[in-house]
């Protein structure tokens, strides 16, 4: 099982399609909710024993081929002098915000000692897991959106205003995040993760032209700086940015559901692919769900290698039982008649 996922990450064809889910450790799972009733989210992230337990839950319950570290993409900000809070009604809140070049003075390069608990969690998990462990970080651009907007947003007005009115300042901000992300991921690798994933969650808000200017150079630098483990790159709006992603050196491109898997295999001939089921199909009928799962698996065989996953994270309303059925279906598909 360990070799299957890692081989797929390296672009090696596998006997069966490995599977894991973004946000597989989370609120949809009753076992998670029991812990969440006792602790707030940040306490869970900052307590290695709890974070390790939550990371292990979907591996034990679902039988997935890889674990992903239980943490949050905003955690590195705490090591950079920025405060983060999580509330159930407003989501993540970040302060102080950086809305102009003059505010960048509030930001410092990451101090790894301030986020030591992330690496301690990894060390615990490496001793307990029988499947590979995925470490992760947000892309510099995604971190920038949170620190500029002060939290989640739908329109990204402040982010784009900063980008287009003070491009030099925005590039300075991106450089700080890039250097810090490289340090953060390298420390995760040192602690023992087998693979890292970069979440470019909000890159899809940009035009291809602006992605090339404000995002790609920094993503490329991160990917090119990591050579000890495979790198998975997840970018939203894969279809709109497809031509911009083809020359990235990531081992695996994780694609969303807005591009057909067959089209993706044609576009990305030199990458292993991960994805790309719409998470909300898990809320519909099993007939409709498995029709789509089968289609993805069939077309995934055309890729250099394929890891089954969702096009984004597991929705809170998802049934654990249906996720387990998907895992079993994916694992057994090699013996099914196509």
Residue 266 a catalytic site member: no
pLDDT at 290: 97
In this prediction, what percent of the chain has a pLDDT beyond 70? 99
Exactly one of 2, 16, 27, 260 is catalytic; name it: 27
pLDDT at 2: 72
Task: Please check the confidence at residue 157 and state whether its pLDDT lies above 80.
Answer: yes
Range of the domain at 199: 2-335
237 pLDDT tier (thresholds 50, 70, 90): confident
208 pLDDT tier (thresholds 50, 70, 90): very high
Q: For the domain that residue 282 is a member of, what is the CATH number?
A: 3.20.20.210
Exactly one of 28, 32, 65, 72 is catalytic; name it: 72
Mean of all residue pLDDT scores within the chain: 95
Exactly one of 23, 184, 200, 233 is catalytic; name it: 23
Tell me the per-residue pLDDT of 30-72, one tens digit each, with 9 for 90 and over.
Answer: 999 999 999 999 999 999 999 999 999 999 999 999 999 999 9
338 pLDDT tier (thresholds 50, 70, 90): very low
Question: Cis omega (within 30 of 0) on the bond before 276?
Answer: yes
Q: From CA 221, how far away is CA 239, in angstroms rounded? A: 23
To 10 degrees, the CA torsion angle through 334, 335, 337, 338? Answer: 0
Q: From CA 34, how far away is CA 13, in angstroms rounded? A: 39
pTM: 0.96
Q: Among the listed ranges 85-99, 190-204, 229-243, 315-329, which one has the minimum average pLDDT value? A: 85-99
Give, in order, the Cα–Cα distances in Å from 183 to each of 48, 108, 127, 324. 20, 13, 23, 36
**Mean pLDDT within 323-330:** 98
335 pLDDT tier (thresholds 50, 70, 90): low
Query: Smallest Cα–Cα separation from 235: which of 269, 271, 262?
Result: 271
Tell me the per-residue pLDDT of 169-185, one tens digit each, with 9 for 90 and over.
Answer: 999 999 999 999 999 99
Q: From CA 283, how far away is CA 288, in angstroms rounded? A: 10
1 pLDDT tier (thresholds 50, 70, 90): low
Task: Please check the confidence at residue 337 and state whether its pLDDT lies above 80.
Answer: no
In this prediction, what percent of the chain has a pLDDT beyond 90? 92
Q: What is the 3-state secondary structure (H, E, C) of 189-247?
A: HHHCCCEEEEEECCHHHCCHHHHHHHCHHHHHHHHHHCCCCCEEEEECCHHHHHHHHCC
Q: Is 285 helix (H, G, I), strand (E, B) or coil?
A: coil
Exactly one of 146, 211, 218, 233 is catalytic; name it: 146
205 pLDDT tier (thresholds 50, 70, 90): very high
**Mean pLDDT within 276-305:** 97
Q: From CA 50, how far away is CA 256, in angstroms rounded? A: 30
Q: From CA 258, how far away is CA 236, in angstroms rounded? A: 9
Tell me the per-residue pLDDT of 274-287, one tens digit each, with 9 for 90 and over.
Answer: 999 999 999 999 99
Residue 2 a catalytic site member: no
Buried b (16+ CB within 10 A) or exposed e, 86-117: beeeeebbbeebbbebebbeebeebebeebeb
Q: How many domains does the chain have?
A: 1
Task: Please check the confidence at residue 156 and state whether its pLDDT lies above 60.
Answer: yes
Question: Contact 198/140 with Cβ under 8 angstroms?
Answer: no
Q: CB neighbours (10 Å) of residue 291?
A: 11
Residue 23 a catalytic site member: yes
Helix (H) or strand (E) holding 310: strand 306-310
Q: From CA 196, how far away is CA 335, in angstroms rounded? A: 30
pLDDT at 72: 96
Exactly one of 2, 36, 292, 301 is catalytic; name it: 36
């Amino acid at each position: 099982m360990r070799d299957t996922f890692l081989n797929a990450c390296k672009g090696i064809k596998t006997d069966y399609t490995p599977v894991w889910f973004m946000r597989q450790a989370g609120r949809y799972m009753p076992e998670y909710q029991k812990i969440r009733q006792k602790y707030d989210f940040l306490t869970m992230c900052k307590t290695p024993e709890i974070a390790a337990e939550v990371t292990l839950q979907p591996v034990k319950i679902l039988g997935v081929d890889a674990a992903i570290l239980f943490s949050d993409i905003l955690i590195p900000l705490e090591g950079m002098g920025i405060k983060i809070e999580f509330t159930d009604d407003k989501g993540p809140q970040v302060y102080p915000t950086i809305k102009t070049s003059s505010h960048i003075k509030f930001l410092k390069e990451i101090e790894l000692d301030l986020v030591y608990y992330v690496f301690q969690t990894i060390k615990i998990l490496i001793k307990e897991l029988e499947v590979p462990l995925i470490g992760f970080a947000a892309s510099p651009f995604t971190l920038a959106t949170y620190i500029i907007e002060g939290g989640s947003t739908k329109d990204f007005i402040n982010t784009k205003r900063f980008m287009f009115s003070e491009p030099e300042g925005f590039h300075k901000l991106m450089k700080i995040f890039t250097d810090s992300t490289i340090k953060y991921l390298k420390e995760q690798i040192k602690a023992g993760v087998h693979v890292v994933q970069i979440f470019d969650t909000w890159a899809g808000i940009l035009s291809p032209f602006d992605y090339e200017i404000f995002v790609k150079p920094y993503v490329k630098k991160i990917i090119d700086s990591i050579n000890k483990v495979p790198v998975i790159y997840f970018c939203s709006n894969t279809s709109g940015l497809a031509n911009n992603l083809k020359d990235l050196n990531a081992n695996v491109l994780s694609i969303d559901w807005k591009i057909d898997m067959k089209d993706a295999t044609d576009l990305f001939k030199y990458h292993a692919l991960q994805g790309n089921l719409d998470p909300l199909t898990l809320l519909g009928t099993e007939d409709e769900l498995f029709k789509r799962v089968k289609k993805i698996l069939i077309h995934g065989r055309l890729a250099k290698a394929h890891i089954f996953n969702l096009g984004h994270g597991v929705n809170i309303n998802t049934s654990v039982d249906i996720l387990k059925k998907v895992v079993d279906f994916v694992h057994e598909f090699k013996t099914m008649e196509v």
